[in-house]
Amino acid sequence: MKWDVDVRPEIAVEGVGKVFGAFTAIEELSFEVPKGRFISLLGPSGCGKSTILRMLAGLAAPTRGAVSFKGAPVLEPPPGMVYVFQQYTKSLFPWLTVLGNVEFGARSPHAARAGGRTGREECMETLRLVGLEAHAASYPWQLSGGMQQRVAIARALVARPEVLLMDEPFSALDALTRESLQDLLLRLWGELALTVIFVTHDIAEAIYLSDEIVVLSSAPSRILTRVSVEIGRPREQLATRESAQFLAHRRSLYQLVVGREQAA
């Protein structure tokens, strides 16, 4: 597994703001995401994390400023970028089998590396990557929550994306399932050389997964700080979370995020 990354920016956010009527959700944000990095957006509920992700994905337009992907402005969902939603129960098609859901992802016009179409063998290989090949003929409603989210991840990965945008994908899962999927995600990120932008309000999750954490304020959202997570890889649930570096990051981020909310 190769952890070295390209330092050139793959995604650039320049002076982005978002206003809904009289409400300013996002004041002004500027940051870059180099290719191959794992970046988390961390902040309190309601600070606009999901709105930022939708603007990165081309699903919403900024009121001011611009988002670019590989040097081109993002005006619509760009090829090579795939969005994994929080509510997997609503994003999967219950009338399709697990394999059928993944095949739908393979037919996406945004299947950049696969040319828009992928054969059944490649869909099955993607299911093997997430440990679901034995459940290809099952329907989503027959699976646990964690398995359903694995289907959603497989459907995203079969499009061979360069960038994976993930909106609190594990927040509805129990703790053990959540940790298992965190490790699965890190393995896939390393093996497939993905760039990942991950939205979470969980401080420990952000530290465990990320190369860098962009910490956001309450609305109107702005960047409070950017934290480089200086913890070696590969990471392991117990050893990493018990390390001095992890605990130091957790303490400082807790004071910054939760302390500000309590003071407010």
Binned at pLDDT 50, 70 and 90, residue 110 comes out as low
Binned at pLDDT 50, 70 and 90, residue 264 comes out as low
User: For position 89, what pLDDT does the model report?
Assistant: 81
Taking the model in full, what pTM does it have? Answer: 0.91
Exposure class string for 134-171: b at 16+ Cβ within 10 A, else e:
ebbeebbeebebbbbbbbbbbbbbbbbbbbbbbbbbbe
Decide if 50 contacts 167 (C-beta within 8 A): yes
What is the mean pLDDT of the segment spanning 7-27? 90
Mean pLDDT over all residues of the chain?
91
User: For position 114, what pLDDT does the model report?
Assistant: 45
User: For position 81, what pLDDT does the model report?
Assistant: 94
255 has pLDDT over 70: yes
Name which residue leads in pLDDT, 107 or 169: 169
Binned at pLDDT 50, 70 and 90, residue 108 comes out as confident
What is the mean pLDDT of the segment spanning 53-73? 96
87 has pLDDT over 50: yes
Whole-angstrom Cα distance, residue 51 to residue 58? 11
